[in-house]
Amino acid sequence: MIAQMQDRSQLLTELRLAESMRLDDMPIEEAVSLMNDQDARAVQAIAAEQPNIARAVELVARALGQGGRLIYFGAGTSGRLGVLDAAECPPTFRTDPEMVQGAIAGGEAAMFRAQEGAEDRPEGGAAAVDQKNVGPDDVVMGIAAGGTTPFVHGALRRARERGAMTIFFTCVQATAGEPAVDLVIRPLVGPEVLTGSTRLKAGTATKLVLNTITTLAMVRLGKVYENLMVDLRATNQKLWDRGARIIATLTGLDREPAMDLLRRADGHVKVAVVMHRRSVDAVQARKLLEDHGGRLRESVGEGK
C-alpha cells in the first residue's frame, strides 16, 4: 500500500513557505500580517485565471439556461465550499435547489466532521455522479485544491463518460494522471502559511472563484438587474425589507407604497417592478416576465 502511495511532495500546496518558517515563534501581530499578505496572493493568482473563469461562466450559464445543472464534487474543504456555494444560490437568486448542487466525499456527514479515507476512493466519486444521474445537459466541476483527490478524479471521469461538460479546479501545477476535462481553472496560490493546509489560501481562492462563476451565471440568466437581486422573493422580515428597498430604488416610490406593491406581487420583486413600470396587474406582469425569459430589463421595455 505504502509503495503505491503517490509522492505529493513537489506539489505547490505541499511545499513550505519561507516566510512562515518561524510561525510558531512569531509575534501575533506579525503572524496576522503574514496571513493577510498571503491571502492577497490568492486574489492575484485568480487574476491570472480570468479567461478560464469567464469561460466557465459561459458554460454554466448556457447549461442552466437550457435546464441543466451545475454540480460540484469535492472532498474536505473543497467539497464543503462546493456545497456552501450551492446552498447559497436558492436564497440569493430564487433558484430551484436542484439547479446548483454540491457533493462531498463521505456524504452529508462530512460537512460537519471529516470522514477519513472517503476522498481516496475514485469509485466513490463515480458512484456519486451516477447517483445524481448526471447527463449531457449538466456541468460537473471537480474541486481538488491539491490536485490529486481520487474521489474528484473519479467523479470527473465518470461525468465525462456520461456526456457532461467538465471543469477541473485545482491550485497546483499540472501533474500526471489528471482527468481529461473541457476546462481547467488553475490559480497557483503557492505554498500555504501552514504547510499543506489548503483550507487557507487555496480555500480562499476556491470560494472566490465559485462566487464569481455562480453570481455571473445568474446575472446572465436575468436574475440580476443593475447590481440588485431582483429575483428575490420575500420570505422573512429581512427579505421583505430588502425587497421593498429594491422596489423603492427602481420605481422612486416611498417605502410604504413599495411595501404595498411587494405584497400585491406576492413577495416577488421583479413582478412588483414590472407592475409599476408597465402599469399592469400581477398576472400581466408575470406574463411579461415569462415572455422575456425572466429578464427585468426587457420586461419593462428597456431592451438591451
Tell me whether residue 123 is one of the annotated catalytic residues: no
**Whole-angstrom distance, CA of residue 218 vs CA of residue 227:** 12
Question: Is residue 88 among the annotated active site residues?
Answer: yes
Q: Give Cα 73 to chain centroid, integer Å.
A: 11
Q: How far apart are CA 279 and CA 289, in angstroms?
A: 14
Those residues with Cβ within 8 angstroms of residue 199's Cβ, 6 or more apart along the chain or in another chain: 76, 77
Of 29, 49, 58, 88, the catalytic one is: 88
Contact 199, 193 (CB under 8 A): no
CA distance 30 to 68: 48
- Cβ atoms within 10 Å of 32's Cβ, excluding its own: 11
**Residue 238 in contact with residue 175, Cβ under 8 Å?**
no
Catalytic residue among 14, 49, 119, 192: 119
Instruction: Quote the cell numbers at residue 150.
Output: 481520487
Residue 253 burial by Cβ neighbours in a 10 Å radius (0-12, 13-18, 19+)? middle
Look up residue 301 and give its DSSP letter: T
Measure the CA–CA gap between 237 and 171, rounded to whole angstroms.
40
Q: What is the C-alpha separation between 93 and 247, in angstroms, rounded?
A: 16
Hey, is 211 helix, strand or coil? Answer: helix
Alpha-carbon gap, residue 283 to 265, rounded angstroms: 9
Identity at 263, one-letter amino acid code: R
Q: What burial class does residue 145 get, using C-beta atoms within 10 Å of its C-beta: 0-12 exposed, 13-18 middle, 19+ buried?
A: buried
Catalytic residues: 88, 119
